[in-house]
Amino acid sequence: MASLMIAEVNKLDSEEFIEIFGNVVENCKLAAAAVWSHKPFQDVEHLNQTIADFLDALPQKGKEGVLRCHPDLAGRLAQAGQLTAESTQEQRSAGLDQLTQDELNTLTDLNQQYKVKFGFPFVICARLNKKAAILNGLTERLKHSSEEETLAGVGEVKKICQLRIADIVTSEAKL
Ligand code: 2AL
């Protein structure tokens, strides 16, 4: 896709901006609504950084809330075909629609243990990981503290967000 130039992004009114960028942070239109007021953006990196700053500035409970807006990997919504278009593609790219029954059982069990321990879902950038890395990562991250996992999860949200923005905004060569 990547069809918008940054100059065009800067001309969007808030409704248009939220319509286009409302899911760059999954199910969190508030992030798009908040960063709109920081325009004009110099380039796509500036837009990425503004969203990252918004996420970093959230209090602990806000960060946890952002993580809770994410669907489980290969979870109930995925199996019902009810993921957002972006999540569907991402989970497919990691091979999560091709799990064996054993792998699905393991992932479901680990996801559940993670949610019981931390109170929010395990989040990882699926486009940058394959299923083996996801299962290993989940096993490792289950050993962490809540504070570590909030930070790790928000770090993954930023990666997901940057890739989604790269699908929308053209990265222009600097003159
Ligand atoms: C997701 C998702 O839907 N896409 C992605 O990259 N990660 N969800 C998750 N729980 O990590």
Percent of the chain clearing pLDDT 90 (strictly above): 95
Bridge partner residues of 4 (DSSP): 169
Measured from the CB, is residue 64 less than 6 Å from ligand 1? no
- Tell me the per-residue pLDDT of 52-111, one tens digit each, with 9 for 90 and over: 999 999 999 999 999 999 999 999 999 999 999 999 999 999 999 999 999 999 999 999
Whether 144 is a known active-site residue: answer no
Q: Is residue 110 in a domain?
A: yes
Banded pLDDT at 172 (limits 50, 70, 90): confident
Which ligand 1 atom lies nearest to the CA of residue 87?
3
pTM: 0.96
Distance, CA of 114 to CA of 74 (rounded, Å): 14
pLDDT at 33 > cutoff 70: yes
- Tell me the per-residue pLDDT of 128-157, one tens digit each, with 9 for 90 and over: 999 999 999 999 999 999 999 999 999 999
pLDDT at 171: 86
- Tell me the per-residue pLDDT of 5-31, one tens digit each, with 9 for 90 and over: 999 999 999 999 999 999 999 999 999
Give the closest residue (by CA) to ligand 1 atom 2: 87
pLDDT at 174 > cutoff 60: no
- Residue 59 sits in a domain of what CATH number? 1.10.3330.10
Number of domains in the chain: 1
Q: Is residue 175 in a domain?
A: no
Measured from the CB, is residue 72 less than 6 Å from ligand 1? yes
pLDDT at 1 > cutoff 70: no
Crossing angle, helix 14-21 and helix 29-36, to 10 degrees? 140
pLDDT at 175 > cutoff 60: no
Crossing angle, helix 131-141 and helix 101-118, to 10 degrees? 30
Burial class (CB in 10 A: 0-12, 13-18, 19+), 145: exposed
**Amino acid identity at 58:** L
pLDDT at 163: 98
Range of the domain at 65: 1-170
pLDDT at 88: 98
SS3 (DSSP) at 57: helix
